[in-house]
Amino acid sequence: MSSPFLGISIANTALQAFQQALDITGNNIANVDTPGYSRETITFMGTNPTTFYSDGHTLMIGTGVNVSAVNRIRDMYLQGILSTAQSEQSRLDTLTSNMTSVQTVLPAPGGNDVSTALSTFFNAWSSLASNPNQAAALEQVQAAGQALANQISGTYNALANINSQATANVTSTFNQIDELTSQIANLNKEIVANSVGGTQPNNLLDQRDQDIQALSGLVNISTQTYDNGTVAVYMGQDTLVDSNGSHAIPRTYDTTAQTVTDGTFTYNITGGQLAGDFQTINTVGAYETQLDNLANSLQTQVNTLSESGVTNQNPAQTGVAFFNGAAGAANFDLSAAVKADPNAIASGTSGNSGDGGLALSISELSTTSIAALGNVTFGEYYDNLASKVGTDASNFQTQGDSQSAVVKQINNQIQSNSGVSLDDEMSSMLRYQRSYEAAAKALSIFDTVTSDLISMMNG
């Protein structure tokens, strides 16, 4: 016959176990809105039984219950899928954000842009052709030329600023990657140290998962978990974190190839903010090249005609260029002579007062297909560039919206598994409460029986 003292012990272990279960449930409820928190569950295990003898047989009876584990509910397969999806979303978000800036610099034709400046410029030459000796017409051409030069150089330099910011972001992203991989490596050490004896440090595991997710927003990564709890992090074939600690990301990069290299091996950058900034630099660089082509072709075509003409100065001069001849769009401007004096503008080739033939030829460039621009006019060339900017921005936005829906779906799956449901937790709390009350009642009964037994023995 078992002792009532055993019953007291059994009830006591039950009270402790159900109290711990209530604590865990309460912790889940408290962290319902905590980002990255993984729902915890409790595992009960019967304690080692004790033996007793009855009718010549050795029998066993349970001695109570213990908490064998506090489990962290986390589907690591889904976490890996989420990392990949978030990496792609971050790339597209970075591109979309940068392209929004580009669109303000290269808007659709029709406003205060290069397209309008081109039309005004060639119209001014047309007016000059009709009034070759009129000072107002010469000043109009000078002003229109200056406005066009300002628009082209200003647009180019605004694009260059966007690219400079993207380049600065690359360096900042490298720093953030190194900071996160260092944190992950330190957490690896803490997790291993706290896992001695089978303990699962759930808060540290959640924190490491958060850092890994943040890292996936910066660059494409994959992970591998080892038996001792350590997580290795890879960027393609490059190891960022292993059991020895963290390793700095190589910082020599090629945006065109979208790679980084340590001098021996080259690694592809396919996702995250880093890939988005690489692609921004390439995309905006292509727009800059097109503006360079526009500026160079304008200079070639207009200056060739201008230098063949006779200026309205006294004495008249020949060979005066209209634009300054700078290579590319960054420093595109009027020539020093034209900038200083509108009379340095040539309207004809004969020097006669009514000769506006040269001005007419320049005005006709507005409808001339230019071989260097792909056999389109200046206006068409710029409009095509602005249209491509709009198309690129729209495509990135559409892809980003679709990817966002994918990430949301994966997050919903993770939340259904790892997230805290208040309804479920309240149900568990009620169950543990009833169990606690039952154990308390049992303890009270065993206490009464024990007291009665002691009284009988003393009587």
Which pair of tokens denotes residue 139? 């000043």
Across residues 131-156, what is the average pLDDT? Answer: 95
Higher pLDDT, 227 or 53: 227
**Of 371, 203, 389, 355, which Cα lies nearest the Cα of 280?**
389
Residue 50 has a pLDDT of 80
Residue 220 to residue 449: CA distance in whole angstroms? 67
pLDDT at 113: 87
Q: What is the rounded average pLDDT of the residues 147-158?
A: 96
The rounded distance, in Å, linking the Cα atoms of 80 and 61 is 46
Specify the 3-state DSSP secondary structure of 338: helix
More confident site: 314 or 397: 397
Higher pLDDT pick, 359 / 3: 359
CA–CA separation, 370 vs 118, rounded Å?
A: 15
Please report, for the chain, the start and end positions of each structural domain, with discontinuous segments joined by +: 4-73+422-458, 81-403
Residues with Cβ within 8 Å of residue 273, at least 6 apart in sequence: 90, 91, 94, 169, 173, 217, 218, 219
For the stretch 260-300, pLDDT in tens is 999 999 999 999 999 999 999 999 999 999 999 999 999 99
Residue 456 has pLDDT above 90, yes or no: no
Note the pLDDT of residue 1.
47
Q: Report the alpha-carbon distance of residue 267 to residue 177 in Å, rounded.
A: 15
Q: Which of the four pLDDT bands, split at 50, 70 and 90, describes residue 230?
A: very high
Whether 105 shows a pLDDT value over 50: the answer reads yes
Largest CA distance in the chain: 144
**Interval 325-348: pLDDT, tens:** 899 999 999 999 999 999 999 999
Local structure of residue 62 (DSSP, 8 states): -
Q: Mean of the pLDDT values across residues 231-241?
A: 96
Extract the tokens encoding 164. Answer: 């400079």
**Cβ within 8 Å of residue 211, ≥6 positions away:** 180, 183, 184, 187
For residue 450, pLDDT beyond 80: no
Q: CA 249, CA 236: separation in Å to the nearest integer?
A: 12
Model's pTM, two decimal places? 0.85
Identity (one letter) of the amino acid at 309? G
- Express each pLDDT in 12-58 by its tens digit: 888 888 888 888 888 889 888 888 888 888 888 888 888 777 777 77
Whether the CB-CB separation of 14 and 64 falls below 8 Å is answered with: yes
Residue 459 banded pLDDT, cuts 50, 70, 90: low
